[in-house]
Amino acid sequence: MNVFLWVLQILGALLYLSSGVMKVFMFDKISQDVPSFGALPRNVWAALGIVELVCAVGLIVPDALHWHPHLTMMAAAVLAVESLVFIWVHVRYREVSATILSAVLGLVVTFIAYGRMVLAPIL
């Protein structure tokens, strides 16, 4: 289970790093192609991108260094809550594939939080 959680954490971190980079540094370029980016102000998207960047690091570093491993659970939980926001936005704009992707990612980070809290905690 520990190896499986590590694989999910690494994949999740990579996905959220790329998403955060796009929201913070490439917003103008990608917002033209995604209608739902008009749902929230640019500053909110940038803040969500920064949250994703911080949490992506939080999925890996605390567990890898055995330094406050509870931060990994917190990072995963924050990303799970953020995915609910994205699901709401994508549903409002009837973006089915983006809604499904947000839901799957939300379930993955929820499982990471649960897994690191109950199934295979790093002490």
Which residues constitute the domain of residue 7?
A: 2-119
Predicted pLDDT of residue 120 = 82
Identify which has the larger pLDDT, 86 or 28.
86
The number of domains in the chain is 1
C-alpha distances out from residue 54 to 34, 57, 62, 92, 119, Å: 23, 5, 12, 27, 24
Predicted pLDDT of residue 103 = 96
Reported pTM: 0.89
What are 16-70's pLDDT values in tens digits?
999 999 989 988 887 777 788 777 788 988 999 999 999 999 999 998 898 898 9
